[in-house]
Amino acid sequence: MEHGGATWSPGRARGHPVDRAEPRHRETAAMGDTFTTRIQARYRDINLAGHVDNVEAVRVLDEARLEFFRFAPLPGLPTGQTGLLHAVDDGVSELVASQAIEYHAEMRFVPYQPFLATLWVTRIGSSSFTVGAEIRVEEGGAPAVAWECVNVLWDHRAQTAWRLSDAVRADLERYLGDPVSMRR
């Protein structure tokens, strides 16, 4: 499902609802741009019951997160530069500080039908930011997984957190939207 934001589909194969309070899905939330990518399930992702194992769902989300950081389109970038983190200094990388995940529906393996991961930024701090994501099993379907991931930008030379530059902050703000609605 497209959500008024950027869509990127890599040209390579990769990578029962709960009866509780209904989470608010992206269609009704206030948003900036979103990034949607297609992640193909691999045979190793599937458990004996024929669905994606819960640990493998986190790996699918992490792959989508890295594609968001490296390939999210931003206007005005020089040719060949893409991704939310194109403007970080050399020697700076993103580290995962925490993750929260909820499983809303089974993610069954369907050959040649990739999962649709939609990502956006939900919070921007001084040296960290939070990414929200949802995985859908099929286009137009309800989210099977909801996820938030706090990322810290780490300066490996200084061995400390790297403060967001104005350029990085502006890029993150383009994708800023509501937090993921969790049942917690």
pLDDT tens digits along 151-179: 999 999 999 999 999 999 999 999 999 99
Q: pLDDT band at residue 17, thresholds of 50, 70 and 90? A: very low
Q: pLDDT band at residue 30, thresholds of 50, 70 and 90? A: low
Alpha carbons 125 and 89: distance in angstroms, whole number? 17
Separate counts of helices (H) and strands (E) for the chain: 2, 7
Distances (CA, A) of 171 to 1, 66, 114, 148, 150: 23, 15, 27, 19, 17
Residue 97 lies inside a defined structural domain of this protein: no
Per-residue model confidence (pLDDT) at position 28:
40
Domains in the chain: how many in total?
Answer: 1
Alpha carbons 83 and 66: distance in angstroms, whole number? 9
- The model's pLDDT over 92-129, given as tens digits with 9 standing for 90+, comes to 999 999 999 999 998 888 777 899 999 999 999 999 99
Percentage of the chain modeled with pLDDT above 90: 59
Residue 79 lies inside a defined structural domain of this protein: yes
Structural domain containing residue 39: 6-14+25-87+104-126+133-147+166-174
Residue 82 lies inside a defined structural domain of this protein: yes
Residue-wise burial string across 133-147, b where 16 or more C-beta atoms lie within 10 A, e elsewhere: bbbbbeeeebbbbbb
Overall average pLDDT of the 66-72 stretch: 94
Residue 154 lies inside a defined structural domain of this protein: no
Residue 100 pairs with which residues in a beta bridge? 148
